[in-house]
Chains A and B, each alone.
Chain A
Amino acid sequence: MKHIDEYRDPSAAQRCADAIAAITTRPWTIMEICGGQTHSIVRHGIDRMLPEGVTLLHGPGCPVCVTPPGMIDAAIAIASRPDVICCSFGDMLRVPGNSGSLMAARGRGADVRMVYSPLDAVKIAQDNPGREVVFFAIGFETTAPATAMAVLQAEGMGVENFSLLVSHVLVPPAMEALLGDPDNGVQGFLAAGHVCTIAGYRDYEPIAQRFGIPIAVTGFEPLDLLQGLYMVIRQLEEGRCGVENQYARSVRADGNLVAQAAVARVFTVQAQDWRGMGTIPASGLGLAPHYAGFDALRRFPMVAVEPERANVCISGEVLRGVRKPGDCPAFGTHCTPEHPLGATMVSSEGACAAYYRYRRPHTARQQVA
């Protein structure tokens, strides 16, 4: 982490922005996939350092934002049982499902615990043999290996009171779904560096070729983002469409093979519901047949996963890059981090939360307060 300051150096960032300006001759629309990148862009004002006409769209890469509300409702129903301890990541606890959040359920007495790793949930299961411990497993390729390790560890140690509510999702199929939408205006992608650290970027090459779209695997610091944008714009200007790796200090083309092997052992690829985006083929992970005994929905068959209900929230369009947070009439008025209507206002990786925090006019604070 000692590198962080290097990647925030204002003069280096300005030089990179100047280099982008020097090669840009036309307007371009580029989407950053990851919500962490969205926050970094909005917080540091990266989009404001770009030449006029270069537009950034914010993608669906916020893991809690794309978790279907029906799964959150199911987590709440399971967590509300007196024999259950429900564990998940901190960000997930505040996201509303069709009705309420896990945090609200905790306020009503459910035993909901925040963990930093799925392995912590296995430990909780060992420490509480008389109760069922359910880990609400969400996230992209980045977090799936840790979930897989938790399953393998629980199996190895014979921890029988541990199970998973799985809502893991995969990035490349979501990119294909976005590009397959005729309304999309995406001309280039910044792929998420953390995801590619695990999964590599071989899967992105056919997407780049099929859709004629340049992709740069990109990190999260200001200079990373500017360099990634430079790589994409240079390809666009030169009429090329390949995959380039800006985040070479962390990402290899093949990714982390050990992590991938653990995921392949525990999970199978399946169709997946995405909040606001519908069902995307082959875009999620479900437990492989051998590990189906760890499926919380089997252990609690009385809990059903309901479909997403209609909502005034436009977060589906925000997640697809079709609209920006400020386009929503509820943004900053009826929808705030205290009273979120949608997941994108809650999560520290959600686009609406980023705009609320970093882009509200300076007058807004007292109006809201």
Chain B
Amino acid sequence: MTISLNCPIPQRDGERIELAHGSGGLLTHRLIEEIFRPAFAQSCDDLTHDGAVLGVPDGQIAFTTDSYVVQPLFFPGGDIGSLAVNGAVNDLAMCGARPLWLSAGFVIEEGFGIGDLQRIVHSMGAAAKAAGVRLVTGDTKVVERGKGDGLYINTSGIGTVVAPAPVNPAQVRPGDRIIVSGDLGRHGMAVMAAREDLGLEPPIVSDCAPVSEQVLRLIEADIPLHCLRDLTRGGLATALVEIADTAGVAMQIEQGDIPISPPVRGACEILGLDPLYVANEGRFAALVPPEAAVLALSILREFDISAAIVGRVEETGLPGSVALRTLGGSYALDLLACEQLPRIC
């Protein structure tokens, strides 16, 4: 974890959240004034109202919500705060939208360290600034000790749709190329290694990041984006199976073309996990027509050199199937029945 050293306010380590911080009274106001306002200073309007009044531009808006319960709250490459901001930003980007406004709801467990809360909300402020979105409204609740897991965050987001055509599985066509925006599996393995104290050296760093800039660049370059999907829970495999199922198409991807860094591959081998099912928080798949694939790839490689074309939508084949080609043939990817658990040896 990196902590900004030019933080203008005193660190509040040692102080703890009390139930009264969620009562709406004096302590709630202090929390807003002393913790949230400084952190969100450059990315929020007025947090003292219950809601935000926003000028909506012409055209369509995209709207999303997600809740974040990650453990541990801090991990190499991010924390629950940056994750919550980037998660909402990326969900909007996957709609072909420019993210504009976020809300943030906090459920804090009594006894949670105010210093940790301060670090997390600062991280949210920095992530919002980096992604060009503003935090316009929020809420804080405190639950009794033992009734939460430290901190949960919900973020909702609104953006304006800038893609000129619909971006969803119904637009997917045979021949479309499947591009991933970077190497896979780093977020899931970083969090697992941090949670279970696996002691990987050097530590795997999460890919947690906004992807809105990449998507906006693809749109500006007139790439027909048939479908976009962030590769969060369930990873690339789950995302493609869901898209193939909804679109009623068959896909084929090439094992050797899927970018996975050696540390992630090594950690997955040791634990018996399949990196295709491991979560990412700054990666997406784009399905684009074949004639646009090379340009799209070159744009994505400006952001991450490991971006790659990993497969295509087939002309024929069983609708809803995703075949992974391997050395001696291919097999069908499927939704996992259960959470992946580490193997014995």
CA A250 to CA B338, docked complex, whole Å: 33
B262 touches A36 (CB 8 A): no
Chain B residues with Cβ below 8 Å from A349 are: 272, 343-344
A114 touches B323 (CB 8 A): no
Partner of A91, one of B245, B269, B343: B343
B105 contacts partner chain A, Cβ-Cβ < 8 Å:
no
CA A313 to CA B184, docked complex, whole Å: 37
B266 touches A44 (CB 8 A): no
CA A359 to CA B336, docked complex, whole Å: 15
CA A362 to CA B336, docked complex, whole Å: 15
A357 touches B331 (CB 8 A): yes
B198 touches A36 (CB 8 A): no
CA A336 to CA B334, docked complex, whole Å: 13
Chain A residues with Cβ below 8 Å from B53 are: none
A213 contacts partner chain B, Cβ-Cβ < 8 Å:
no
CA A273 to CA B340, docked complex, whole Å: 28
Interface mask (B324-342 → A, CB under 8 Å = 1, otherwise 0): 0011111110111110111
The smallest C-beta distance from B342 to any residue of chain A, in angstroms, reads 4
Given the interface pairs A45-B327, A357-B334, A362-B321, the reply to whether A4 lies near B345 with Cβ below 8 Å is: no
User: Which residue on chain A has the smallest CB distance to residue B265?
Assistant: A4
- Of B196, B263, B270, B336, the most chain A CB neighbours within 10 A belong to B196
Count the B residues whose beta carbon is within 8 Å of the partner chain — how many? 35
User: Which residue on chain B has the smallest CB distance to residue A2?
Assistant: B262
B320 contacts partner chain A, Cβ-Cβ < 8 Å:
yes
Interface mask (B237-274 → A, CB under 8 Å = 1, otherwise 0): 00001000100000000001000001101100110100
Interface mask (B198-236 → A, CB under 8 Å = 1, otherwise 0): 100000000000000000000000000000000000000
B331 touches A1 (CB 8 A): no
Given the interface pairs A4-B266, A94-B338, the reply to whether A116 lies near B272 with Cβ below 8 Å is: no
CA A349 to CA B334, docked complex, whole Å: 18
Chain A residues with Cβ below 8 Å from B327 are: 8, 10, 13-14, 44-46, 49, 222
A63 touches B345 (CB 8 A): yes
Chain B residues with Cβ below 8 Å from A49 are: 327-328
Given the interface pairs A45-B328, A47-B328, the reply to whether A347 lies near B343 with Cβ below 8 Å is: yes
Given the interface pairs A1-B263, A362-B318, the reply to whether A91 lies near B326 with Cβ below 8 Å is: no
B344 touches A64 (CB 8 A): yes
A93 touches B323 (CB 8 A): no
User: Which residue on chain B has the smallest CB distance to residue A48?
Assistant: B328
Given the interface pairs A2-B262, A366-B320, the reply to whether A139 lies near B345 with Cβ below 8 Å is: yes
Partner of B341, one of A48, A94, A369: A94
Given the interface pairs A4-B266, A365-B332, the reply to whether A43 lies near B344 with Cβ below 8 Å is: no
Chain A residues with Cβ below 8 Å from B196 are: 116
Residues of A216-253 contacting chain B, CB below 8 A: 220, 222
User: Which residue on chain B has the smallest CB distance to residue A89?
Assistant: B344
CA A44 to CA B336, docked complex, whole Å: 18
User: Which residue on chain A has the smallest CB distance to residue B336?
Assistant: A337
A360 contacts partner chain B, Cβ-Cβ < 8 Å:
yes
A92 contacts partner chain B, Cβ-Cβ < 8 Å:
yes
Interface mask (A38-60 → B, CB under 8 Å = 1, otherwise 0): 00000111111100000000000
B331 touches A89 (CB 8 A): no
Chain B residues with Cβ below 8 Å from A13 are: 327
Chain A residues with Cβ below 8 Å from B198 are: 116
CA A48 to CA B343, docked complex, whole Å: 26
Interface mask (A304-334 → B, CB under 8 Å = 1, otherwise 0): 0000000000000000000000000000000
Q: Which 3 A-B pairs have the closest CB atoms?
A: A45-B328, A1-B266, A90-B341
Given contacts A362-B317, A364-B332, could you give 18 more A-B pairs where the C-beta distance is less than 8 Å? A2-B266, A14-B327, A36-B345, A45-B331, A46-B328, A89-B342, A91-B272, A93-B341, A116-B342, A143-B345, A337-B337, A338-B337, A349-B344, A358-B331, A360-B334, A362-B318, A366-B245, A366-B320
Task: Identify 10 residue pairs between A and B in the complex whose beta-carbon atoms are under 8 Å apart, listed by A's number.
Answer: A8-B327, A36-B343, A45-B328, A49-B327, A49-B328, A64-B344, A90-B342, A139-B345, A366-B320, A369-B335
